[in-house]
Every structure is written in C-alpha cells, then in structure tokens.
Amino acid sequence: MAEKITGAEALMRALEHEGVNTLFGYPGGAIMPTYDALYDHKKTLNHVLVRHEQGAVHAAQGYARVSGKVGCAIVTSGPGATNTITGVADAMIDSTPIVVICGQVGVAMLGTDAFQEVDVVGVTQPVTKWSYQIRRPEDVAWAVSRAFYIARNGRPGPVVLDFAKNAQTGMVEFEPANVDFIRSYDPYPRINKEAIEKAARMINNSVKPFALLGQGVELGNACDEVRAFLEKAQIPFGTTFLGLSDMPSDHPLNMGILGMHGNLGPNVMTNQCDLLIAIGMRFDDRVTGNLATYAKQAKIIHFDIDESEFNKNVKIDVAVHGDCKESIPEITALVDEAKHDSWISGFKPYAEKEYNKVINKAINPTEGPLLMGEVVSRVTEATGNKAIMVTDVGQNQLFACRYFKFSQPRSVVTSGGMGTMGFGLPAGIGAAFGAPDRTVCVFCGDGGLQMTIQELGTIMEQGAPVKIILMNNNFLGNVRQWQEMFFHHRYSFTPMDNPDYELIAKGYRIPSKTVVDRADLAAGIQEMLATPGPFLLQCAIKEEDNVFPMTPPGANVDEMLLG
C-alpha cells in the first residue's frame, strides 16, 4: 500500500509537481497545517513572507507577468483571504495566471460563522476564473492540477483554492494528478479557416491598415509571430499599456501607445484607417474613448482567445477566435507583402507635433522642478532600455508607460484594468523573483507607495533587488489633475503631508537617496543602479504637473488635449 500523507503534505507535492518553486504568503490559524508541511519543503518551495496578504497576490502577479509561469500565493482564512481580493480581481481583469490558496475552517464548522470563517468561494467567484473549495484530502491532487491548468491555459486568470482544515490534516495516499483536459472548457479553440481567409482578403485590400496590440500577444507567446505578420504586410501598430513590451519600442512600425494618455498619432489615426486589426486586446474604454465615434470609418478584425470579447464594446466585422500563436501565422501565410509608406508617413506629423508640444518639454526640461517624464526617461536610458518596468497607479504610471522604453517581451508590470494603487511595490518584489537576472524598476507615487509600504520589510528581509523610484509630488497627483481639469481646481483631499521617506528606508535598512536638483538626477540614478540589492530613489517632483496628451473621459479617440 502506498504511503499515507496529510492533505497539507499532498499540497506541497502537488505544487512541486506543477513546477512551483516560489510562494508568496502569510500564515495564520486555518492554514497552519500547510505551513507546518511547508517547513519540510523549504529547499524546493521558496516561501517569501510578505507583510500583508494583498502584497502576496501582487507579488505573485509580478512574478507571473515577467516569468510567464503561474504565480502562487498562500494565506490563511477569513481576513487573510479577504485581504487577497483586490489582487485577485486585478489578476482577473488583467488576465494574470495566479493560484491563491486560502486556509478555511474545517468542513464540520462551515456555515456556522466559525472563527475566521468567510465564504471565500462565494466572495471570489465573480473575480476568479475558477474558485473551488477542497473539502477532502483526496481532492488535493486533482484540485491543484486543475487549478494550474485553468490559470495558465486559454485566457489566463486567477484561481482560488479554499483549503478546509480537515482536508489539510486528513490522511491520503498521494498520486499526482495531471489535468490536461476539461470537457466544459476549450482553452484553445480551433481556428476557423473561413475567418482567416476573410481577414486576409480584408488586409490585402486595405490601403490604410492599423493594428492594435494588447497583452494577449505576450500572453500567447506570439510576439515573434505577430512581428512577422506586421512586417510582411508592413502594418503600423499601436499598443495598449499592457502590450507595451509586445514589440521593441523602437520598431519602425511601432506608432506608440493607444488610449487616454497614449500618443497622438495612433489615437488620431484610429479614426482615419480603413482597417483596424486588434490582436489580444479588449477595447477597454480607456483605449476607445467615446464608442459612438470610435473607428466608425474602418472595418475591424479582432483576434482573441476569449469569445466573449467579440462585439462586447466595439462592433467588429471578422472575429478570429483562438490562440494568436496559431492564428497569426495562418494569416501571415495568406497576406501579401505590401508597403503602406504614405499611410505610415502620415503618422509622422502627429508624432512631431506631440514631440514638440509635449514630449520634449516632459523629458528634457531645462528649468523648474524635476518632472516625472524626465526621471523615467533618464532611468530607461541608464538601463539601456532593458529593464523591467513596474508601476504603481496614477501619474507615475502614466509617465512611466509613456516614457519607459522596451527591448524585450514581458517587461511591463502595471495594473491596467483595475488601476490598483499599492500594486507597484509588491509586484516589483514578485518581478525580482520571477526574473532574477533582470533589473526591476518600480515607479510609484507618494500615495501608492504608502498603500503597501510595509512590503519594504519583505524587500529588506529578502534583499530583493528592487529599484524603487518614488516620484514624490506631495499630491494624489492623478486625482488632483482631474480636479484641476474637471472640478474647477477644487483640491478636495488630494494634497498630502509626507513622511521622511529616507528615514523610513533607513528604518528598513534599505539604501536611499533624494534628488531635488536636475543636476543630481543622473548621479542618483547611477548610484541606485550600481548599488547591489534594493534602493529607494526619491525624486522631488513638480507639485502640480499634468499628464498630457489626454483624451478627456467620454471624448472621441482623436480629440486629444495636448496641454
């Protein structure tokens, strides 16, 4: 007879079987048997103790984004579980593959309002790809395997496993499971040949094609395929924030960023092209602006792995349902080699105009206080455009996304769909573990940093080489900008008194520096990058600066304000 082990030990073996080697977590009563088992697996399962469960999930997200693997977080029941909800919802809307394991009271106590009992499956169902309660040790192997299969396949997403205490302590003969098929879920639907042919005809007939690339390209590991397609037919493209590292920033067909704070050219040209080719993006309202006027002149082809995205926001002409790693090569084979030189050169005046009116002033100012744009620009230059950019949310995020440059995939970690303040610092920790060979730069504001500032403790303990660039403007800057623009300058609760961040960093034994003068910026950045391990670089930023260009909420995509 096979050896009998506890459900908790079975979980350890099941995680190892899935190739997990890093866990972000926080212990507590209902998950103690699992932590006890973990004690014997420290060599294979590197557990990173975070300082708040939200941090565990964001770290798992950062880890997943940069590594392409499933991130894993482990927390206790009740408050431990509810503290993960923000991260789980963030992973859902940004399609990030993570598995969150929560402790739960024993089955006999379920529904009795037991200590630290919360209906985790009920609470998480709306914000997970799958949520399941493990009630018996016999189910551990199957549930873990299914969880990882669901999280990583198809459109990735978060899975929550609610692990009842009796299932952790009960004994079972463990046999690893290999879920590789779910009858009710087809993660990689067959590509419809007719759709491919129709799309190819439309592309070949188009004079002014324009492609929109989202994170789906990266999630599908299809960057090379998409690049070959765009180059063959010479199709200019724009990217979403999450798709920023799909292609090198300096690719000649890369016209820039789509959406509210994106670049002028791609947004204006969206309403001038004759064909829009959307690949792995979901027409978020931050990208489209007013739907009633969005690309009405164009035919639209939409490549997506999630059928429910078709016609959700924008009416499309052809849907190509499936994995873009499969569908794009099929379309590449059918499209003609083409040139669209005059169409492509039409983007140029907009790029020049934006450069002269906005970009140059943002990244090369010569007087006045420091600006976020120049800080980002100097950091990306100093890293040779090879670093991973992690951002928090707010102006820091918008400036970072606008001015950071990329040369390889999986270099963007930002909270797109949720816009979760406090995401940056813990996600940066996860990124440092997910890509230990790369430089990780976290850009954050004074507001967002303080939402998860306790993770400095994690950074200290782990010596995680996270380069934190705090762009301190003494305001909740992004909200202040909207108050200035749309609420008559009424700064309702956006100015902030700040603590001494260098002193805080010192408390956490993290080296730090504050840059106030432009002349000291380059040296500050050099010191940050040259210092091994973590570093906090505080930049004193102009207090009332605004991010431009901007499409005001609800305005048409081509109606960008330049200043």
Partner 1 sequence: MQQEQCPMGDYKKVGGQCGDCSTCGKCDRALKRGERPAEKVKKVEPIMEQDNSTKLYTFLIYSENIAGLLSQISAVFTRRQVNIETLNVCASSTPGVHKYTITSFCDEEMAIMLTKQMEKKIDVLRANYYTDDQIFINETCLLKISSPIMLANSQVCSIVRQYSARIVEVNPTYATIEKTGITSDILALFNALNTIPECVLQFVRSGRIAITKSKVEHLDRYLAEREVRRKEERR
Ligand X SMILES: Cc1ncc(C[n+]2csc(CCOP(=O)(O)OP(=O)(O)O)c2C)c(N)n1
Q: Which positions touch partner 1 (CB under 8 A)?
A: 121-122, 125-126, 129-131, 150, 180-186, 306-308, 310-312, 484-486, 488-491, 546, 552, 555-556, 558-563
Q: Which of 136, 101, 145 is nearest to 121 (CA)?
A: 101
Token pair of 483 as six digits? 């108050």
| Cα 277 from Cα 88, distance rounded (Å) | 30
519: region left, alpha or beta (phi > 0 left; psi from -120 to 50 alpha): alpha
Question: From the list 445, 465, 524, 549, which residue makes contact with ligand X (rule: CB under 6 A)?
Answer: 445
Q: Which two tokens stand for residue 242?
A: 């999450």
**What's the rounded Cα separation, in Å, for the pair 46 and 311?**
43
At 47, which helix (H) or strand (E)?
A: strand 46-49
Q: How many CA atoms lie within 13 A of 242 on its CB side?
A: 27
Window 404 to 443, contacts with ligand X (CB under 6 A): 419-422
Residue of 103, 216, 447, 465 interacting with ligand X (CB under 6 A): 447
Write the CA distances from 446 to 78, 375, 419, 425, 456, integer angstroms.
Answer: 30, 15, 16, 12, 14
Q: Binding ligand X by CB under 6 A: which of 9, 162, 218, 446?
A: 446
563 is in the binding site of which of partner 1, ligand X, none (Cβ under 5 to 8 A by kind)? partner 1
CB 218 within 8 A of CB 245: yes
* Residue 475 near which of ligand X, partner 1, none (CB within 5-8 Å, type-dependent): ligand X
Q: How far apart are CA 441 and CA 383, in angstroms?
A: 9
> Distance between CA atoms of 505 and 226, rounded to whole angstroms?
43
> Does 477 participate in binding ligand X (rule CB under 6 A)?
yes
Nearer to partner 1, 392 or 545 (CB): 545
Comparison of 42 and 489: residue with beta carbon closer to partner 1 = 489
Q: Considering the complex, what minimum distance in angstroms separates the CB of residue 208 from partner 1?
A: 20
Q: Residue 277 forms beta bridges with which residues?
A: 211, 301
Q: Would you say 86 or 267 has its CB closer to partner 1?
A: 267
Sign of CA pseudo-dihedral 264, 268, 269, 275: positive
Per-position x/- string for 354-393, each x denoting binding to ligand X as judged by CB under 6 A, each - no binding: --------------------------------------xx
- 54 touches ligand X (CB under 6 A): no
| Residues in Cβ contact with 446 at an 8 Å cutoff, skipping those fewer than 6 apart | 470, 471, 472, 473, 474, 475, 496, 498, 501
By beta-carbon proximity to ligand X, the closer residue of 77 and 481 is 481
- Among partner 1, ligand X, none, the one that 186 touches (CB under a kind-dependent 5 to 8 A) is partner 1
The β-bridge partners of 541 are: 370
Closest CB to ligand X among residues 266, 549 = 549
350 makes contact, choosing from ligand X, partner 1, none, with CB < 5 to 8 Å by partner type, with none
Least distance in angstroms from the C-beta of 474 to ligand X: 8
Specify the residue, 87 or 289, whose C-beta has the smaller distance to ligand X: 87
Amino acid making up residue 397? Q
- Binding partner of residue 395 among partner 1, ligand X, none, CB under 5 to 8 Å per kind? ligand X
* Least distance between partner 1 and beta carbon 512 (Å): 34
Q: How far is it, in rounded angstroms, from Cα 45 to Cα 58? A: 18
Identify which of residues 352 and 544 has a Cβ nearer to ligand X in the complex. Answer: 544
Q: How is residue 444 written in tokens?
A: 């954050």
> With respect to ligand X, which residue has the nearer C-beta, 55 or 445?
445
Neighbours of 382 (CB within 10 A): 18
- If the CB atoms of residues 465 and 477 are measured against ligand X, the closer one turns out to be 477
Helix (H) or strand (E) holding 235: none
Residue 446 near which of ligand X, partner 1, none (CB within 5-8 Å, type-dependent): ligand X
What is the number of alpha carbons within 13 Å of residue 554 lying toward its C-beta?
Answer: 1
Within 10 angstroms of residue 363's Cβ, the number of other Cβ atoms is 21
Least distance to ligand X, CB of residue 299, Å: 35
Dump strand ranges (E) for 76-169.
Answer: 98-104, 130-134, 158-164
Q: Which of 7, 394, 417, 524 binds ligand X (CB under 6 A)?
A: 394
Query: Which alpha helices (H) appear in 279-338, and where do they start and end?
Result: 285-288, 324-334
- Per partner kind, with CB cut-offs from 5 to 8 A, the member of ligand X, partner 1, none near residue 393 is ligand X
Q: Does position 460 bind ligand X by CB under 6 A?
A: no
**Residue 477 interaction partner, one of partner 1, ligand X, none, beta carbon < 5-8 Å per kind:** ligand X
- In the bound complex, what is the minimum distance in angstroms from residue 472's beta carbon to ligand X? 8
- What CA–CA distance (Å, rounded) separates 334 from 204? 9
Which residue, 166 or 395, is less far from ligand X as judged by CB? 395
The distance of closest approach from Cβ of residue 82 to ligand X in the complex, given in angstroms and rounded to an integer, is: 15
Closer to partner 1 by Cβ: residue 44 or 125: 125
The site for ligand X (CB under 6 A) is made up of: 392-396, 419-422, 445-448, 471, 473, 475-479
